[in-house]
């Protein structure tokens, strides 16, 4: 049982970049992102100066996660097409990829799958920027990575309890931490100058009815997460398929047939995403 209070937990979470286990690229990226006035040009230069990162970004942008039909061949083209917020989220995603793979096998696949389905739902709902929902799906569980990095033993225990008691890891976290992975993810999203809508999605993906800035987007990522769990794709820390929040479901105005079509549409993309070893 962790007796750490909320402010101590938040302080440790926000200082995750000082951990020796954090890769150098991610440390540098966090430094760039914490500048609220960072420009598209700054981000483009940052990526272009790192050949390995350039390869990862272009691979990801051309993957089914983003759904661009044409090939995007340069970083500057990707940045212009996707915009600052999407590129920042994408960069964070590819930079924590290795950490996700080491910290929880299957979490990266779950995150990418969620990005695929969230974009498809967003397109069906006619949202102008479906790629922003891809980022929400990709990063919704970033708090799990942060907690595992800072408290590996406690998080393993929480996952073990979830498994034995047949509950979600989100529920099991309550016994070990003063705040769960959704709040933790939102804290770092704020510190890293992510837009309020994306922070909201990360914060409220289990409780979308509480979202203040992006209720529809939070409902979409909430549903994507549950659909993916039901599909048995990747691993998010437990084997439970939670119930869909009633208000979120009503707000989305989707039918069961819509869900079947979205899953059918996602099938090829999920197979490709699974093979996307960055």
Q: What is the pLDDT of residue 69?
A: 61
Q: What is the pLDDT of residue 165?
A: 95
pLDDT (0 to 100) of residue 1: 44
pLDDT at position 270: 84
pTM of the model: 0.90
Token couple for 157:
């225990």
Per-residue model confidence as pLDDT tens digits over 175-187: 999 999 999 999 9
Instruction: Map tokens 């922070």 to a residue.
Output: 199
**Token pair 């203040």: residue:** 212
Identify the H or E element spanning 110: helix 107-124
Residue for token digits 């990095």? 149
The stretches in the chain having pLDDT less than 70 are 1-4, 69-70, 274-278
- Rounded CA separation 15/27 (Å): 11
Beta-carbon count within 10 A of 81 CB = 15
Residue 102: in which H helix or E strand, if any?
helix 84-103
């Amino acid at each position: 049982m962790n007796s750490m209070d909320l402010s101590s937990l938040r302080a440790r979470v926000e200082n995750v970049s000082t951990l020796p286990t954090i890769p150098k690229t991610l440390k540098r990226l966090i430094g760039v992102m914490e500048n609220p006035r960072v420009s598209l040009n700054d981000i483009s230069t940052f990526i272009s100066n790192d050949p390995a990162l350039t390869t990862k970004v272009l691979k990801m942008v051309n993957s089914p996660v983003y759904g661009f039909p044409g090939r995007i061949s340069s970083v500057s083209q990707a940045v212009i097409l996707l915009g600052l917020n999407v590129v920042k989220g994408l960069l964070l995603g590819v930079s924590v990829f290795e950490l996700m793979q080491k910290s929880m096998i299957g979490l990266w696949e779950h995150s990418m799958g969620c990005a695929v389905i969230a974009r498809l739902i967003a397109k069906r709902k006619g949202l102008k920027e479906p790629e922003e929902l891809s980022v929400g799906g990709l990063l919704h569980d970033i708090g799990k990575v942060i907690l595992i990095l800072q408290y590996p033993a406690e998080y393993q225990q929480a996952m073990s309890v979830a498994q034995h008691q047949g509950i979600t890891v989100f529920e099991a976290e309550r016994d070990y931490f003063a705040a769960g992975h959704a709040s933790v993810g939102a804290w770092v999203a704020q510190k890293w100058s992510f837009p309020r809508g994306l922070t909201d999605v990360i914060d409220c993906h289990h409780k979308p009815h509480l979202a203040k800035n992006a209720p529809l987007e939070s409902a979409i990522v909430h549903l994507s997460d549950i659909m993916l769990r039901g599909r048995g794709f990747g691993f998010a820390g437990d084997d439970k398929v939670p119930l869909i929040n009633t208000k979120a479901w009503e707000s989305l105005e989707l039918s069961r047939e819509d869900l079947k079509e979205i899953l059918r549409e996602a099938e090829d993309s999920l197979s490709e995403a699974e093979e996307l070893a960055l």
